[in-house]
C-alpha cells in the first residue's frame, strides 16, 4: 500500500481532538460566575495554526525553490490591541459590573465595597466613590519561523521536515483604574489610622502590600516568547492535494506570574514546557489555468499540552469575592498584641497571606483553522476562520496551608470575624469573636477558593483576511499583509480578551 495514504487516517485522528472545544464549551462558566479572578491568560500570538503564522507560508511557498536546499524562512511583524474592556473588567471585579461603589459607612446599603477594608478612613467618616476598571492589552512583535526539509525523497515528493519558531514581543497591559470621588470625607484620618489614605487609587497601591497591586498607568514587558521545535512528515505534496503531520516541543523562555500586580504583562505561555502535535492539509476546489486562477481549501489542526509548573497567585475565600484584600491577623500572637494595645487597625494585609505558591497545570489547548486560498498568477488572497479553545487551569497548593490566620473584625482589638466580606454588610460587620475563641475563626485550607486563581476554559473565534504577492526569482520571495478580528460569545466573554491584529509577512524559499 502507498505509504502516503497512511497520512489520511492520521490527519483525521488528529482533527478529532478539535472536538475538545465542544466539551470545554459545555463546561465553561457564564458571565457572572467568572468574577474576582486574580490571573488572566492571554492567547499568545504566532502559535502553530494561527492565521498570522500559517497564512502564505504553505506548500506552494515552502517548495517554491525547485533547485535550492529545501529551506524556507518567514518573518512576521505584527501588532494588536484588545477590545471591549467592560467585559474583561468583570473578570477582575468583585461584582459582575465594570464599576462598583465604595463607601465608608457600613450602614449604607447601596455599596459594593467597604472603604475601611482598604484603609480609606476619613475625618468625617462618610467617604464615597465609584471605581471602575477598563483592562486593555496592546502588543507589537515580530515572529520568526525557519523550516528545513529533511531526508526528502524527490521521486515520491514526500519526506521529513524540521522547523523552529519564536516571537520577540513587547506587551503593554493597562488595568484602566479610574475613580470618581463623590465625597472625600474631609481627607484621610491619619490620627485614627496612621496608614489611612484618602482614595481607592492610593489604597490599591499601599506600601504594606507585597502582592495584588491595582495600579494606574501601564506595565510593560519585552522578551522572546516560547520556542516551538517541530518534527514533521509530509505524506503528500502534489496537485491537487497535500498533507503533513508533526510532533513538537514547546521550550519556555518567558517569565511566570508572580502575583505582584493585577493583570501582569507576560509573553509566552507563562514558562510552561509543552508537547505539540498537529497536521495540515489542502485540496483543490477549482483550477482555471487559461485565466491563471487557482482556488483551494486549506485545513490545519494544532494541539498543545502544557505541563504543570509552580507560580504565585492570589486566592479568595470561598463565596467571598475580593476577600483576599481583607485585613487578617497572621496568627494569634498578633491578635493578642492588638488586644493589648487596644488597637483597632493593627493587622496584616490579607493579600500578603493569601497570595501563595501554587502548582498550575494549564492542560490542553486546540486550534483549528479553515481557509480558502485563491491565486491569480503571482497574486495571493486568503480568508479564513479560526477556532481556539483551551481547558481551564488546574490549580493546587504547592505546600500545605499553614493554619493560624484569621479575619480581623472591623473594630479589631484582637477580635475576629470569620464571615466578613469585602462589601461590609452592617449586620455581618457587627460580629466580633473574642480573642479567647480565636481558634474557632481560623482560616482552614478548605476555605480557600482555588478557582479564583485559575484561568477558566476559553473559546475564541477569529476571522481574517490576507493579500500577498510572489516574485518567482531564483530564490522566490513573497510578501503579504493581513488582519484578523478575534472574538468570543457572551458566555465566555469575561475569561477572554477579544482583539484586533494586523501583520505583514516577508518570506523566502532557498
Q: Three-class SS of residue 332? A: helix
Report how far residue 454's alpha carbon sits from residue 13's, in angstroms, rounded to the nearest whole number: 30
Q: Which residue has the cell 531564483?
A: 474
Q: Compute the average pLDDT of residues 13-32.
A: 47
Q: What percent of the chain has pLDDT over 70?
A: 92
Give the CATH number of the domain where residue 154 resides.
2.40.160.40
Report how far residue 211's alpha carbon sits from residue 354's, in angstroms, rounded to the nearest whole number: 9
Question: Are 48 and 386 contacting, i.e. CB atoms less than 8 angstroms apart?
Answer: no
Main-chain phi, psi angles of 335, to 5 degrees: -65, -40
Pick from 22-31, 33-42, 120-129, 182-191: least confident = 22-31
The predicted-structure confidence for 255-271, as pLDDT tens digits, reads as follows 899 999 999 999 999 99
Main-chain phi, psi angles of 321, to 5 degrees: -55, 140
pLDDT of residue 474: 80
Q: Which residue has the cell 490579607?
A: 350
- For 252-322, list the strands marked E by DSSP: 274-288, 293-306, 309-314, 316-317
- 315, pLDDT greater than 90: yes
Total domain count, the chain: 1
Peptide bond connecting 427 to the previous residue in cis, omega within 30 degrees of 0: no
pLDDT of residue 4: 43
Of the pLDDT bands very low, low, confident and very high (cuts 50, 70, 90), residue 6 is: very low
Which carries the bigger pLDDT value, residue 139 or residue 363? 139
The predicted-structure confidence for 43-81, as pLDDT tens digits, reads as follows 999 999 999 999 999 988 988 887 778 899 999 999 999
pLDDT of residue 23: 44
Report how far residue 316's alpha carbon sits from residue 118's, in angstroms, rounded to the nearest whole number: 16
Report how far residue 453's alpha carbon sits from residue 486's, in angstroms, rounded to the nearest whole number: 25
Q: Compute the average pLDDT of residues 101-125.
A: 97
Q: What percent of the chain has pLDDT over 90?
A: 80
Domain coverage including residue 187: 3-509
Q: Three-class SS of residue 167? A: strand
Which residues, 6 or more positions from 494, have their beta carbon under 8 angstroms from its beta carbon? Answer: 31, 34, 35, 87, 88, 90, 91
Q: Tell me how many degrees the CA angle 375-465-374 measures, rounded to the nearest 5.
A: 15
pLDDT of residue 29: 52
Q: Name which of 501, 391, 446, 389 is nearest 52 in CA terms.
A: 501
- 13, pLDDT greater than 60: no
pLDDT of residue 20: 45
Question: Are 46 and 167 contacting, i.e. CB atoms less than 8 angstroms apart?
Answer: yes
Host H or E run for residue 26: helix 20-27
- 177, pLDDT greater than 70: yes
Of the pLDDT bands very low, low, confident and very high (cuts 50, 70, 90), residue 5 is: very low
The predicted-structure confidence for 417-463, as pLDDT tens digits, reads as follows 999 999 999 999 999 999 999 999 999 999 999 999 999 988 999 99
Which residues, 6 or more positions from 93, have their beta carbon under 8 angstroms from its beta carbon? Answer: 35, 36, 100, 133
Of the pLDDT bands very low, low, confident and very high (cuts 50, 70, 90), residue 291 is: confident
pLDDT of residue 14: 47
pLDDT of residue 378: 92
The predicted-structure confidence for 206-256, as pLDDT tens digits, reads as follows 999 999 999 999 999 999 999 999 999 999 887 778 899 999 999 999 889
- 30, pLDDT greater than 60: no
C-alpha cell at 123: 475625618
84-98, 118-132, 144-158: range with highest mean pLDDT: 118-132
Report how far residue 266's alpha carbon sits from residue 503's, in angstroms, rounded to the nearest whole number: 20
Q: Compute the average pLDDT of residues 345-373.
A: 96
Strand order in the sheet with 348-349: 348-349, 327-329, 406-407
Amino acid at each position: 500500500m502507498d505509504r502516503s495514504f497512511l497520512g489520511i487516517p492520521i490527519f483525521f485522528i488528529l482533527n478529532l481532538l478539535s472536538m475538545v472545544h465542544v466539551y470545554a464549551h459545555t463546561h465553561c462558566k457564564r458571565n457572572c460566575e467568572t468574577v474576582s479572578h486574580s490571573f488572566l491568560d492571554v492567547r499568545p500570538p504566532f502559535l502553530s495554526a494561527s492565521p498570522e503564522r500559517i497564512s502564505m507560508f504553505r506548500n506552494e511557498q515552502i517548495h517554491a525553490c525547485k533547485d535550492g536546499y529545501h529551506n524556507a524562512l518567514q518573518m512576521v511583524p505584527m501588532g494588536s490591541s484588545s477590545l471591549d474592556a467592560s467585559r474583561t473588567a468583570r473578570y477582575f471585579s468583585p461584582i459582575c459590573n465594570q464599576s462598583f461603589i465604595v463607601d465608608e459607612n457600613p450602614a449604607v446599603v447601596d455599596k459594593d465595597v467597604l472603604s475601611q477594608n482598604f484603609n480609606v478612613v476619613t475625618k468625617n467618616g462618610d467617604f464615597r466613590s465609584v471605581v471602575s476598571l477598563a483592562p486593555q492589552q496592546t502588543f507589537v512583535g515580530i515572529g520568526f519561523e525557519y523550516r528545513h526539509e529533511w531526508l526528502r525523497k524527490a521521486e515520491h515528493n514526500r519526506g521529513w521536515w524540521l522547523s523552529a519558531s519564536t516571537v520577540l514581543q513587547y506587551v503593554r497591559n493597562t488595568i484602566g483604574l479610574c475613580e470618581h470621588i463623590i465625597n472625600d470625607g474631609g481627607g484621610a484620618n491619619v490620627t485614627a489610622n496612621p496608614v489611612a489614605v484618602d482614595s481607592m487609587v492610593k489604597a490599591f497601591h499601599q506600601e504594606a502590600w507585597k502582592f495584588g497591586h491595582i495600579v494606574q498607568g501601564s506595565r510593560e514587558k519585552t522578551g522572546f516568547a516560547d520556542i516551538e521545535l517541530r518534527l514533521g512528515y509530509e505524506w503528500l505534496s502534489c496537485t491537487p492535494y497535500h498533507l503533513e503531520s508533526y510532533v513538537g516541543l514547546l521550550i519556555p523562555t518567558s517569565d511566570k506570574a508572580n502575583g505582584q500586580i493585577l493583570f501582569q504583562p507576560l509573553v509566552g505561555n507563562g514558562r510552561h514546557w509543552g508537547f505539540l502535535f498537529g497536521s495540515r492539509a489542502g485540496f483543490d476546489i477549482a483550477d482555471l489555468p487559461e485565466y491563471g486562477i487557482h482556488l483551494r481549501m486549506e485545513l490545519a489542526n494544532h494541539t498543545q499540552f502544557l505541563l504543570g509548573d509552580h507560580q504565585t497567585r492570589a486566592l479568595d475565600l470561598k463565596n467571598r469575592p475580593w476577600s483576599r484584600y481583607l485585613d487578617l491577623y497572621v496568627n494569634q500572637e498578633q491578635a493578642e498584641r492588638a488586644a493589648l494595645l487596644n488597637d483597632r487597625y493593627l493587622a496584616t494585609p490579607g493579600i500578603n497571606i493569601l497570595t501563595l505558591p501554587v502548582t498550575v497545570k494549564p492542560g490542553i489547548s486546540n486550534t483549528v483553522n479553515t481557509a480558502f486560498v485563491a491565486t491569480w498568477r503571482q497574486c495571493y488572497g486568503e480568508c479564513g476562520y479560526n477556532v481556539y479553545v483551551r481547558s481551564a487551569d488546574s490549580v493546587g497548593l504547592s505546600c500545605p496551608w499553614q493554619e493560624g490566620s484569621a479575619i480581623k473584625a472591623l473594630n479589631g482589638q484582637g477580635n475576629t470575624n470569620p464571615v466578613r466580606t469585602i462589601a461590609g454588610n452592617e449586620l455581618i460587620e457587627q460580629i466580633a469573636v473574642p480573642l479567647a475563641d480565636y481558634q474557632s475563626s481560623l482560616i482552614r485550607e478548605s476555605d480557600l477558593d482555588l478557582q479564583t486563581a485559575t484561568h477558566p476554559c476559553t473559546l475564541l473565534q477569529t476571522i481574517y483576511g490576507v493579500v500577498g504577492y510572489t516574485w518567482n526569482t531564483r530564490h522566490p520571495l513573497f510578501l503579504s499583509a493581513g488582519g484578523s478580528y478575534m472574538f468570543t460569545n457572551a458566555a465566555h466573554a469575561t475569561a477572554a480578551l477579544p482583539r484586533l491584529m494586523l501583520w505583514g509577512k516577508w518570506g523566502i524559499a532557498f
